[in-house]
Amino acid sequence: MKTLLIASDPEITRIVEEYSRSAGDDLTVAPHTRDARKLITVQEYDALLMDCSVRPMELISFTAEAGERLAETVVLLIGPLDQDQREKLGRRLSAHYSVDKPLRRQVFREIMERVAIRSTIVRRTGLTGNSPVMEEIIQTIVQVGPTSITVLITGESGVGKEVIARAVHAVSSRAEQPFLAVNCAALADGVLESELFGHEKGSFTGAAARRIGMFEKAHGGTIFLDEIGEIPHSTQIRLLRVLEEREIMRVGGTESIPVDVRIIAATNRDLRDLVEKRRFRRDLYYRIKVLEVNVPPLRRRQEDIPLLIDRLVRRFAADNGTLVRRFDEEAKSYLSRATWPGNVRELRNFVESVLALTNRPVIGLTDIPEHLLSDVYQQNTLPARREKTPEQVERELIYRTLIELKSDLTEIKGMLRDFSLQGLAGESPKLMEVIPVQPGGDITLEEMERQAVIDALRQTQGNRRKAARLLGIGERTLYRKLKQHDIHES
C-alpha cells in the first residue's frame, strides 16, 4: 500500500516504519498536517494513519479540507479521541478504524492487516460506507472472502449487490482470476442455459458451432448469478449439479466437464417464499444460502449518502475526463434525508444528471436544476423547494417535525398524568423518576428531555452507559444530548 503517516511521536513512527518494511508498503511520514496537505494534492494514498493525541481539532480540520481526496483512503486513528471528535471525523471518512495508545506491535499488525484488506476492497470495487450496518457487511466480506463458500446476497433493487459480490471476489484467493456476472432475468430460458453451460455444435437450431459457457470461462474464478430467483426449473437442476458435483455438461453434450468456480448469487425476491410456492427448488435454496449477506436499502443507512455522493462525483470525473467537482455540505445533508426508493442506482443517476447540467465547481442546493430536485422531493415527501431558500426549507421540515412531536408529547403527558392520579407511579418507578410529571403545569419538550437526562445520570451515579440504557437511547446519542443541553456531570 501507499501509506501516509501523520505523527510526530518517534515511537509511533518507529513501529509504523518497521511494519511497512516487513509488509512491503510505501510509507511517507508527515510530522504535521500542513505537510500532509501538500502531499495529498500530488499523491493519492491507500491508507492514512493519524496520531490523534496531539491537536485533534487540527486533524478534523484537515479531513474537512481534504474532502473527496480521501474518498478512497482507509484511515487509522491512533490514540484517544472523545465521542464528538470521532463522530466529526467519521462523517468525512469512507472507511476508518482506531487503535489505542501505547501502540503495541502485534495489535498494530493485526489491525493493519484489516486496513490492507479494506483498502483492496475500496480500490477494486469502490465500496463506500461507514454506517454500522455497512461496517458489519464489510467485516463479513473480510471473513468469508478468503474461503470458497457459496454466498447469497439479498436486498432491494439498486442497493449494490454486484458491488458486494465483487468485493468478496477481490479479497479471495481467486482475485486474479475471472469475475463474470450474469443477469439471469435478462435471458430467455434456452439462451440462459447456453450462456451458463455452453452448447455443442448442432445441439439445437442455430447452433452452428460449439460454444463455451460462462462456467468454463470463469474456471478458477467467480461467477455472479444476479436475479437467481428468475431461473427456470430445468436450469435449477443443472445449477444444483454444479454445486454438488463441481462439473457441468454442455447443452447437447455427453461429457462431464469439471469446473472450479465460486458461485455468488443475488436476488431482490424472497427465495423462501418461492420455495413454498414450489417455484424454486428447496435443495438448491439450501445449497446457495450457505451464507447470506443482506444489503439494506439506502434509507436505512443515510449516513453513507454524503460519502456515496463524493464517490460518484469522482467516478463521473474519471469516466468523462472532467475536473473533480463537489456538492457542498448543505446540499449533501439535505439530499441525505431523502429515502431514495431506487437506492444507489437512483442516487447515481441523480448525481450524474446534476453534474451534466451544472458547471459550477461547488454545487449547492440553488445550483441543482429545479426539475431534478423536485423529482427527489415529490417521491420522498420532502417539502417542495419552489422559490424558498435552503434555510426556509430546513426550517419548514423542522417545524413539521416539532408539531408532530408536540402532539405526541401532549398525549404522553396526559397518559402519565392519569397514571399519577390513579396512584400507578409505584408500579412504574423508573419511568416516573426518569420523566417527572407536573400535573398542574406545562413543560416544554426540551425541558422534559433535559430533566430526563439529568435524572437518569443521577440514578446511575453518572454511569453514561447505564443512563443511556435507562433512557432507551444509544450512548452516542446521550453524549450529544449532554452537549446540546449543556449538562455537566457532578
Mean pLDDT for each 10-residue chunk of the chain (490 residues)?
Answer: 90 93 93 87 88 73 72 80 67 71 88 87 82 87 89 94 95 93 87 89 81 93 95 91 91 90 95 94 94 93 88 87 85 88 92 90 87 66 45 52 58 57 43 45 68 83 80 73 76
The β-bridge partners of 75 are 48, 96
The pLDDT score that the predictor gives to residue 229 is 93
The pLDDT score that the predictor gives to residue 125 is 85
- Surface-to-core class of residue 422, CB atoms within 10 Å of its CB (0-12 exposed, 13-18 middle, 19+ buried): exposed
Residue 182: what are its φ and ψ, rounded to 5°? -130, 125
